[in-house]
Amino acid sequence: MAHQVSVFMENKPGRLERITEILSGGGVNIRAMTLATSSGGWGVLNLLVDRPQQAKDALTAGGFAAALREIVVVQMPDAPGSLGRIVGLLAKSGLNIENAYGTVLREGQGAILVIDVDRTAEAGTLLRTSGVTTLEDDAVYRL
């Protein structure tokens, strides 16, 4: 199962910079990221990286609250309406999406979608049996 790194972050200048600094200092490469903010002046930064465990350790040592979270990563089919179809499949099975974000791969390789969903194993199986391509963790980290 693939993992993203989630980091608690106050919404104030310099914090995102500090996180990326810690990660590059730890030799970690960021593939994609998204920030979910609350109205209370804080948020959770979700990061797709090549070495999640190292990233979490480096951030913890740097004083941040960081956690590994299981995710499902799917190869976005090159067809109209496919995002809606994926979301619909998960919703119909009662699987709640916490968060989702996409990133474009190298030229000509299409895009991937990172889904933070409860019961990731079940979600992965459901998507695969419905003909959606999911990526194994090795493939995700090598992106």
Partner 1 sequence: MSGAYWQPEIETMAPAALRELQAARLRETIARAMQSPFYGECYGRLGLAPESIRTVDDVRRLPFTTKEDLRGHYPYGFLTVPPQETVRLHCSSGTTGNPTVIFHDRHDLDSWANLVARSMYCAGVRDSDVFQNICGYGLFTGGLGFQYGAEKLGALTIPAGAGNSRRQIKLMQDFGTSAIHAIPSYLPRLFDEFQALGLHPAEDTKLRIILTGAEPHSEETRQRLQEMFRCKVFNSFGLSEMNGPGVAFECDCRNGLHLWEDCFILEIVDPETLEPMPDGERGELVLTTLDRRAMPILRYRTRDLTSILPGPCPCGRTHRRIDRITGRSDDMFIVKGCNVFPIQVEKILMKIPEIGSDWLIVLDTVGDNDELLLKVEISPAHFTGDMEALERVRRRIIHEVRDEVLVSPHVQLLEPGALPKSEGKAQRVQDLRKKS
Q: What is the binding site for partner 1 (CB under 8 A)? A: 6-10, 15, 36, 38, 40-44, 46, 60-61, 63-69, 98
Query: Least distance to partner 1 from the beta carbon of 44, Å?
Result: 5
* CA gap 6, 88 in Å, rounded: 25
* CA gap 35, 69 in Å, rounded: 15
Tell me the residue type at 93: S
Query: Least distance to partner 1 from the beta carbon of 53, Å?
Result: 14
Phi, psi of 32 (to 5 degrees): -160, 155
**For the chain, what is the radius of gyration of the CA atoms?**
15
Closer to partner 1 by CB, 30 or 67: give it.
67
Closer to partner 1 by CB, 6 or 134: give it.
6
Contact between 26 and 116 (Cβ < 8 Å): no
Query: Least distance to partner 1 from the beta carbon of 118, Å?
Result: 10
Closer to partner 1 by CB, 60 or 75: give it.
60
Query: Least distance to partner 1 from the beta carbon of 33, Å?
Result: 13
Closer to partner 1 by CB, 4 or 132: give it.
4
Contact between 45 and 19 (Cβ < 8 Å): yes
